[in-house]
Structure 1
């Protein structure tokens, strides 16, 4: 975002922009010890992530709904010299949590390396301005620091998304950074030493195990925190409700009445198909190939609200979410299609009060 672009005009402000008032209020009220380079104490960082009400009445909204101990372990790890690896299935808020931790600790969540099969070592370490390199040879002005190098020099947190998607030889470029806290630049005969406050938060999808597994040397440099799926339906409903409301405001969607009952129904469908059994434990069902994560439930409901607002009567109805549910469940038209049709006929069709949902889903699948 350039200085000429107002934050309100940005489609998705960074966490430190969107929640600047909460972070400022926490900083003003925070009288606990802060690790070197941290903007908030570990207690205040945890309060920012989980939510609280300050003595002056400021309400800090929850950013992550889950076990407090999981967040405390993550924050405590970052206060040591060990890096943090957030591990979990897709949709367990790994990226969301890493962004908010970086925003609270460093005031900057933008030092990001996005891991893919094509991520090069330059993205993790540094690159070169080739025009300057050809004209001047290796020099400080020709060097282009990557997010990790910048974080080391400024004492901030760097984020690495989908670490196990990155090729193994590129992953290993992190070993010296994490063990020696230095990044050699042999072309210049120098190195960058990490300033206090530097650390790394990485995320990994445990469904990607076997893609580019971490070497034992690199894994030892991380403390792994597993982010579970929401334990209860109530927790998941709360997460979905909050995120759908936030997205609706950010996208400036027209106001659409969204009943908790409709949200709970989508959550129940996803949870049952994930677990392979209905909520009452009486009927076993087959699970589709997709993850059916909380994030996908949020996407389905947000899309449904847009349909209801622009093409419906302004009230969220089963017909508005049916196509989204079908698209989320049926990733493989053959195998998942069978699973979904069987679930509709054996579970949804028999439920009292679900007739409209059953009919809409049948129609969406034709």
Structure 2
């Protein structure tokens, strides 16, 4: 970190407890938890910043289909996420959380596997243990029936981010600027950026965190994902359908389909190869004409072990990170934002060991 280089003319002087950098899903949820605790904070984010949250479908799926197991920590996450999104709906006066059923199209030999794993892995709170062998929907190819997840959700992430930004602006807690790490100064146990002095600065920068010199020791392995917006006249489904990809109904013949996973990429632009890949998978599920109305791509912030990265820097305790939520961000963010806020505010002295930033700094 170097001396400040840009002028501070448009940023009023301010002392605050927390400076949150980034207002994607992670920054939004952490800021909300600080708000719930009555803490003073400011969020800074570039108005045109690229966010995976704006591309993500916001699906909360409690099971891992490949092994048919519970998703990591799901029994702890679900009560908190439902309460948190409902509280946000009340605060922001808009619907955000939608109950969702998922119809997993089964292959020829998958029905026995579904039955056995439903019992073996104690999934009764989330899935129907008996597959539906008579599942039929016009336009959907499902010769061997489906297994159904009945306890899933969809979160309208773009609306959440937009409305929460409006709330922050109304509360005088938002600065629409890009923060350059070189402009951050550590001084007397605090941090200063422009005319703002804070007790802690927390970086919630999404995949851009890889450019942050403070966290170069963290092993990030971001993934690029692409989705398609579709029109499919005549496809009358109300549940999400899944077989190697998801097809999510949005109403009025509109659907979203995805998503791809790429570990090597150059930018956030949609790619023709990914569109072709999704189209091929879609045509194995849906036997109706469709029109691609939009292609969207984003980069999921992901750590090497697929776990979030949360905590305070071991050498600079006034500097923290809340990142790496990955493809399950809509499910993970509420619980871990609450846990990190509790830690920051002195309500707890621990961070879950699997997500703790210190896992990258332990001596070998």
TM-score by length of 2: 0.26
Question: Which has more radius of gyration?
Answer: 1
Bigger share in helix: 1
Bigger share in strand: 2
TM-score by length of 1: 0.26
The structure whose RCO (Cα within 8 Å, separation 6+) is larger is 2
